[in-house]
Amino acid sequence: LKKSKNLIMLTGDNSFNANFVAQKLGIENVFANLKVEDKLKHASEYSKNGLVMIGDGINDAPSLSRATVGISLGKVGSATAIDASDVILLNDDISLINYLLKKASFTSTIAKQNLIFALLIIVLASIPSLLGLIPLWLAVSLHEGSSVLVGLNCLRLIKD
């Protein structure tokens, strides 16, 4: 996993297995032998700053629902964990997490761009129209044109 964020492993597995997997994934902070309540406590604490949690078992469900974004594994995940998740990896490939995080960040950027652009056009078209400086049909056309441009900007999300 890419080290762009603070990576922490919370697991009910023993320390040996947890550290072995964490080393393969490049995760430095490992909390092993955790019970459901322990995971939930950690998830509650870390979710204050935004938490993406990946889980597959029934013991992960409370923490998945507490996380900012809960991701479960579709093939091996329990029904309870899947129900508590926001995202389900159907093929259980955790290497997709970096792609998901990048895509989510890009989606957020596009949404902010669209909001700023649409509001700017509405203000720039409405005020002159209300003051009689431009005809109403032109203000409406500018507004509708901004809607088309917002839609076109969204199309950038489907490349790749």
Q: What is the pLDDT of residue 117?
A: 95
Write down the pLDDT at residue 134: 94
Would you state the pLDDT for residue 3? 52
Per-block mean pLDDT, blocks of 10 residues, the chain (160 long)? 68 91 84 91 87 85 89 84 89 82 92 96 93 94 95 91
Res 56: pLDDT = 83
Residue 4 confidence (pLDDT): 55
Task: Read off the tokens for 103.
Answer: 């895509």
